[in-house]
Amino acid sequence: MNQTDSTQVQRNPITKQKHRSEVLWQITLPLVVGIVILLTLAVMAGLATSTQASQWADISMIWLIAPTYLVGLITLVVLAGLIYAIIRLILVLPPAAYRLHKSIILFATRINAAQNKIAEPFLRVQVFTASLRALRRNLSGSGDTHSDGA
């Protein structure tokens, strides 16, 4: 497709030049330097003697093991912190739990006493009506309940 001058987007030449300069210094140059360093190390590793190769292998192993070691060290520190926190909780928690237990027992005792006071009038009415029924049964059928059997 041919673009005519009327449909072509006009770009600011100053910012375009600045962008090209930034691409050179921030992308192209670091990429080229990194590739040169890697190629140099590859050539050095190829030309190295067995002693030097062993030394490079040891250095490589250090760089491979170091992240794992660092994660293990962080895990160890976190675990030690958790152990310390649990020890502190073991020292603090039992007395606090005992005080809470005493408070709960006191609260339960007061609730039971209040329940008993609320239920007492109802129980007295039931006891009174039950004793009246028993008295009426005894008075109405006094001859039936005491038979001499003679």
More confident residue, 65 or 141: 65
Would you state the pLDDT for residue 142?
Answer: 61
Would you state the pLDDT for residue 5?
Answer: 57
pTM for the structure as a whole = 0.39
Tokens of residue 125, six digits: 């009415």
- Per-residue DSSP letter, 47: H
pLDDT digits (tens, 9 = 90+) for 98-140: 999 999 999 999 999 999 999 999 999 999 999 999 999 998 8
- What is the Cα–Cα distance from 68 to 77, expressed in whole angstroms? 14
| Whether pLDDT at 17 is above 50 | yes
Reported as a pLDDT band with limits 50, 70 and 90, residue 150 is very low
Kindly give, in sequence order, each residue whose CB lies less than 8 Å from that of residue 138, ignoring residues fewer than 6 positions away.
Answer: 145
Reported as a pLDDT band with limits 50, 70 and 90, residue 2 is low
Reported as a pLDDT band with limits 50, 70 and 90, residue 64 is very high
| Whether pLDDT at 72 is above 50 | yes
Tokens of residue 48, six digits: 């190295």
Longest alpha-carbon distance in the chain:
140
Residue 55, classed as helix, strand or coil, is: helix
